[in-house]
């Protein structure tokens, strides 16, 4: 479960610089989610191509299962949009059409997010933020969140197990209180862990005035260059389209 | 010799606590000394460690009187993060003291915060790792480490900052005996390097020969002081009467033969037969017990080294292991793997995970009919928590929470109760209470306790089940 949010550094495949990932993410938000330049055919095809990029990245990070699941979901929604939506009418059109529209736009960003979280270590993240001159006041809380998610997930799994043993499940006798029963212990455990975690971090000097060093090596390599060029091509297509060179 | 830490007439009261945690305490720790703080839960020993590393008054709020200074710096005027290079701390819970997700970054974390140059940090990591002999733990993911390995990484992270004073707050409560031995080696090395060490601890045996001075605390003050030698030759009865755990236990059940052994004469009426307890993760077989008989109604300790398959065994027994195919036979009735969840119940190490309702009574009745209210009250009475029936379960003490969890299992008609390390981090009295409770449960209920606590086994178990390498040799 914890693998959903943390990098398995023992077996991580191809490593990208966190800044490259961030650039891909921004591009996906601008073009896939924002629909920028969708009136230009070349940009439309380019957007679809870049939308598939997160799936390829997941595979380079050896997360084949995740890539397969996301790939299947994205492919079914995309094909529904292309093949199904033009043939339906009425209420079905508005419901299915709307769902397809939202998810086709949202999915690439979500997949990229999953890839970012599961392939970046805390130290890489801090190093990248540092290189981009983001102040510590922003970096530290964000990095705590990085660390906190997997822990909450671990707790959640333990609580789930406990609930199974007590026969509390959806459709069971206490279905109405299902969420409450889950949240109360989760909050108590999270608060405890959060407070212990901060205490431990403080005793090890997190938050001193001195400039923090970072031994984590990040930097741009061949793989970064490839991904960056691919993504940047989309912007170029868009500009070319805007000034009327292509349509 | 200079003084590492001086506490003068210190009183402290936590912001939300009723009683004072420390009461006019005087303590001087000399440089290079190894001091043990012991005493029952709530005696104030953890509070002393928090004063030394600055968590009090800078993180935990409350009213502090008196003077605390560490290496000549007044603790009030020194920010907690500035103490980081001087005082290093190792905590109890391995789940919550790691900031990074990989081991190398974790060891570097403190040094990075101090702003040391990169080459220096690399050199320190190398030294620490060689020193502690943990080369093979470098570059691993924190989530794949055992409790003992995590605690070693925590120690390494502290050692790399080269602190003068190292404070350990119950560092062994989640460790097995082998891991404790390794921690002992680390502390001996620190001592040889001339570091000052302060340890607050319930488990005492492993510190014999390490500590120069032992302070026994009661009600927020130091009520007795011993030299290390004098303290570690005290007889067990004397220690127990002080509310402390024994230093040596007569029996080490890890040395017993594998399989079930009867410890106390037990009049067994029925037999629970486990069949086909075979399970593997991937190709690796983790558990191989084709057939095993357990006496019904017994209190059975499950022992074995870390990684022996104890937790796989109990998971299978509670029906929590997916794809498990074994069966359990009681009185001619056969329970298949998916029925086991109705038969058995696991009381987890962190009981907070399994208390859901708003009041204790509601908690026990959860999943049962209202008509069973009377039975529920009976059970609560038997477990001595009837007076708390309207309290929120999360507001109870650790032992009471454990009882609430047991009560809910009993009302649900569970016949097999499995406890996962019920006494880790408990002092002598609380351990006795748990032992008493386990002894007094219905004869109809069979109890299995996964534990490293030999004192607990001596007190309440009728049998032991020793598992090694995923199985038992017949």
Task: Give the whole-angstrom CA distance, residue A141 versus residue B279.
Answer: 42
Residue A174 has pLDDT above 80, yes or no: no
CB-based contact, B320 to chain A, within 8 Å: yes
Given CB atoms, is A211 within the 8 Å cutoff of chain B?
A: yes
Would an 8 Å CB–CB cutoff place B75 in contact with chain A?
A: no
Q: What is the pLDDT of residues A190-201, one digit of tens each?
A: 888 888 888 888
In sequence order, what are the residues at sequence separation of 6 or more whose Cβ sits closer than 8 angstroms to the Cβ of residue B93?
Answer: A196, B174
* Per-residue three-class SS string for A113-143: HHHHHHHCCHHHHHHHHHHCCCCHHHHHHHH
pLDDT in tens, B27-46: 999 999 999 999 888 888 99
* The pLDDT value given to residue B226: 94
**B223 to chain A nearest CA, in Å?**
29
Whether residue B185 is predicted with pLDDT greater than 90 in this model: the reply is yes
Q: How many CB atoms lie within 10 A of CB B13?
A: 18
Residues 210-229 of B with CB under 8 A from A: none
Chain B residues with CB under 8 Å of A193 CB are 95-96
Residues of A in contact with B136 (CB under 8 A): none
Phi-psi region of B68 (alpha: psi -120 to 50; beta: other; left: phi over 0): beta
Per-residue model confidence (pLDDT) at position A194: 85
Cα angle A151, B175, B235; round to 5: 145
DSSP assignments along B82-98, one per residue: GSTTTEEEE-S-GGGS-
Q: How far is B251 from chain A (nearest CA, A)?
A: 33
Q: What is the mean pLDDT of residues B140-158?
A: 87
Calculate mean pLDDT across residues B113-127.
93
Contact A159 B111 (CB under 8 A): no
- Report the predicted TM-score, pTM, of the whole model to 2 decimal places: 0.84
Q: Cβ–Cβ of A9/B102 closer than 8 Å?
A: yes
> Residue B66 and residue A38: Cα distance in Å, rounded?
70
Task: Check CB contact under 8 Å for B356 and A163.
Answer: yes
* B453: nearest Cα among B253, B234, B170, B199: B253
* Residues B345, A202: C-beta atoms closer than 8 Å: no
Residues of B with Cβ-Cβ distance to A155 under 8 angstroms: 353
pLDDT in the model for residue A1 = 40
**What's the confidence (pLDDT) of residue B94?**
77
**Angstrom distance (rounded) from CA B297 to CA B349:** 22
Judging contacts by C-beta atoms under 8 Å, the chain A residues touching residue B367 are 166-168, 172-174
User: B352, A185: Cβ pair inside 8 Å?
Assistant: yes
A146 contact residues in B (CB cutoff 8 A): 101
Q: Note whether B257 contacts A: Cβ–Cβ < 8 A.
A: no
CA separation for the pair B249, B239 (Å, rounded): 12
- The verdict on A2 touching B (C-beta cutoff 8 Å) is yes
**CA of A208, closest CA in chain B: separation in Å?**
6
Top mean pLDDT of A139-143, B9-13, B467-471 is at B9-13
Q: Does B113 touch chain A (CB under 8 A)?
A: yes
Q: In Å, how far is B118's CA from the nearest CA of chain A? A: 6
For residue A2, what pLDDT band results from cuts at 50, 70 and 90?
very low
Instruction: Say yes or no: A44 contacts chain B, CB-CB below 8 A.
Output: no
Long-range contacts of A145-149 (CB under 8 A, 24+ apart): A146/A5, A146/A6, A146/A117, A146/A120, A146/A122, A146/B101, A147/A122, A147/A197, A147/B98, A147/B99, A147/B100, A147/B101, A148/A190, A148/A193, A148/A194, A148/A197, A149/A5, A149/A6, A149/A117
Q: List pLDDT tens digits, range B435-459.
A: 988 888 888 889 999 988 888 999 9
Does residue A149 sit at the B interface (CB-CB below 8 Å)?
A: no
* Chain A CA closest to residue B319: A165
Closest CB from B99, B115, B394 relative to A201: B99
Query: DSSP label at B350?
Result: S
Question: B344: how many CB neighbours lie within 10 A of its CB?
Answer: 23
Interface of B with A in 340-359 (CB under 8 A): 341-342, 345-346, 348, 350, 352-357
- Out of A10, A121, A196, whose CB is closest to B144? A10
Q: Give which of A156, A162, A196 to mutate to test B binding, by max B Cβ within 10 Å.
A: A162
Q: What pLDDT digit, counting tens, does each position of B350-372 carry? A: 888 888 888 899 888 886 777 78
Nearest-Cα residue of chain B relative to residue A206? B113
pLDDT in tens, A92-148: 888 888 888 899 899 999 999 989 888 888 888 888 998 899 888 888 888 877 777
| Closest by Cα among A27, A47, A25, A38 to A110 | A25
134-173 in chain B: CB under 8 A from chain A = 139-141, 143-144, 157-158, 161
Contacts of B339 in chain A (CB under 8 A): none
Quick check: B474 pLDDT over 70? Answer: no
pLDDT digit string, tens, across residues B196-232: 999 999 888 899 989 999 999 998 899 999 999 999 9
Q: What are the structure tokens assigned to A79, written together?
A: 């094909």
B99 touches chain A (CB under 8 A): yes
Which helix or strand (DSSP H or E) is residue B106 part of? helix B103-113
Answer whether A154 touches B (CB < 8 Å): yes
Q: Do the chains contact at B356 and A9, CB–CB below 8 Å?
A: no
**Which residue did the predictor score with more confidence, B30 or B284?**
B30
ipTM of the complex: 0.83
CB-based contact B354 A2, cutoff 8 Å: no
Q: Is B117 at the interface with chain A, CB within 8 A? A: yes
pLDDT, residue B382, reads 83
With 50 as the cut, is the pLDDT of residue A5 above it? yes
pLDDT range class, residue A57, cuts 50, 70, 90: very high
The model's pLDDT over B48-107, given as tens digits with 9 standing for 90+, comes to 999 999 998 899 889 999 999 999 999 999 988 888 889 999 998 877 888 887 899 999
Q: Does A153 touch chain B (CB under 8 A)?
A: no
- Tell me, yes or no, if B194 comes closer than 8 A to chain A by beta carbon: no
The answer for residues whose C-beta is within 8 angstroms of residue B337's C-beta and 6 or more apart is: B316, B319, B321, B324, B325, B326, B327
Residues of chain A with Cβ-Cβ distance to B174 below 8 Å are none
Which residues in chain A have their CB less than 8 angstroms from residue B109's CB?
Answer: 204, 206
Inter-chain CB proximity B356 and A168 less than 8 Å: yes
């Amino acid at each position: 479960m914890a693998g959903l949010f943390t990098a398995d550094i023992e077996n991580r495949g191809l490593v990208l610089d966190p800044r490259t990932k961030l650039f891909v993410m921004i591009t996906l938000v601008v073009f896939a989610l924002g629909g920028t330049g969708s009136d230009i055919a070349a940009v439309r095809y380019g957007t679809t191509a870049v939308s598939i990029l997160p799936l390829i990245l997941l595979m380079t990070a050896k997360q084949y299962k995740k890539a397969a699941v996301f790939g299947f979901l994205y492919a079914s929604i995309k094909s529904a949009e292309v093949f199904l939506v033009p043939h339906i009418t009425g209420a079905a059109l508005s419901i299915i059409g709307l769902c397809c529209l939202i998810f086709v736009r949202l999915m690439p960003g979500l997949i990229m997010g999953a890839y970012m979280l599961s392939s970046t270590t805390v130290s890489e993240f801090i190093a990248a933020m540092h290189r981009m001159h983001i102040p510590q006041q922003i970096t530290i809380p964000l990095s705590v969140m990085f660390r906190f998610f997997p822990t909450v997930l671990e707790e959640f799994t333990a609580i789930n197990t406990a609930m199974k043993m007590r026969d509390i499940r959806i459709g069971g006798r206490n279905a109405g209180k299902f969420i409450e029963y889950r949240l109360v212990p989760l909050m108590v455990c999270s608060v405890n862990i959060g407070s212990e975690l901060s205490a431990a971090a403080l005793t090890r000097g997190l938050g001193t005035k001195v400039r923090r060093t970072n031994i984590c090596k990040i930097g741009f390599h061949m793989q970064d260059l490839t991904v960056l060029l691919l993504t940047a091509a989309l912007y170029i297509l868009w500009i070319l389209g805007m000034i009327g060179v292509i349509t | 010799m200079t003084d590492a830490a001086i506490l003068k007439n210190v009183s402290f009261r936590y912001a939300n606590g009723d009683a004072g945690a420390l009461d006019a305490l005087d303590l001087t720790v000399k440089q290079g000394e190894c001091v043990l703080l012991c005493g029952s839960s709530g005696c104030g020993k953890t509070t002393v460690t928090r004063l030394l590393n600055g968590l009090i008054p800078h993180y935990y709020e409350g009213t502090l009187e008196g003077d605390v200074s560490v290496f000549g710096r007044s603790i009030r005027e020194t920010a907690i993060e500035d103490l980081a290079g001087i005082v290093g701390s190792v905590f109890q819970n391995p789940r919550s003291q790691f900031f990074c997700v990989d081991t190398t970054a974790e060891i570097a974390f403190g040094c990075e915060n101090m702003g040391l140059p990169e080459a220096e940090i690399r050199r320190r990591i190398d030294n620490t790792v060689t020193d502690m002999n943990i080369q093979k733990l470098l570059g691993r993911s924190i989530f794949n480490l055992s409790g003992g390995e995590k605690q070693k990484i925590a120690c390494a992270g502290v050692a790399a900052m080269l602190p003068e004073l190292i404070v350990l707050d119950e560092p062994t409560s989640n460790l097995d005996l082998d891991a404790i031995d390794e921690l002992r080696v680390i502390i001996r090395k620190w001592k040889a390097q001339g570091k000052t060490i302060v340890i607050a601890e319930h488990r005492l045996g492993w510190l014999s020969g390490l500590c120069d001075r032992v302070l026994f605390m009661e009600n927020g003050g130091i009520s007795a002081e011993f030299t290390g030698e004098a303290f570690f030759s005290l007889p067990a009865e004397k220690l127990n009467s002080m509310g402390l755990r024994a230093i040596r236990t007569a029996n080490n059940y890890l040395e017993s033969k594998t399989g079930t052994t009867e410890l106390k004469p037990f009049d067994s009426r029925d037999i629970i037969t486990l069949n086909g307890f075979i399970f593997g993760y991937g190709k690796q077989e983790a558990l191989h017990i084709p057939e095993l008989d357990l006496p019904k109604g017994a209190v059975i300790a499950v022992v074995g080294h870390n990684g022996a398959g104890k937790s796989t065994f109990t998971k299978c027994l509670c029906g929590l292991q997916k794809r498990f195919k074994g069966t359990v036979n009681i009185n001619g009735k056969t329970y298949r793997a998916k029925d086991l969840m109705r038969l058995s119940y696991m009381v987890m190490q962190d009981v907070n995970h399994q208390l859901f309702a708003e009041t204790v009574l509601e908690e026990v009745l959860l999943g049962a009919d209202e008509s069973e209210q009377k039975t529920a009250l009976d059970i609560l009475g038997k477990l001595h928590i009837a007076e708390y029936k309207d309290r929120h379960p999360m507001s109870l003490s650790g032992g009471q929470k454990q009882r609430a969890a047991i009560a809910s299992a009993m009302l649900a008609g569970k016949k097999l109760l499995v406890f996962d390390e019920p006494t880790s981090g408990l002092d002598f009295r609380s351990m006795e209470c748990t032992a008493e409770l386990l002894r007094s449960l219905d004869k109809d209920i069979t109890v299995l306790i996964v534990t490293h606590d030999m004192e607990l086994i001596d007190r309440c178990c009728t049998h032991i089940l020793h598992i090694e390498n995923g199985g038992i040799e017949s």
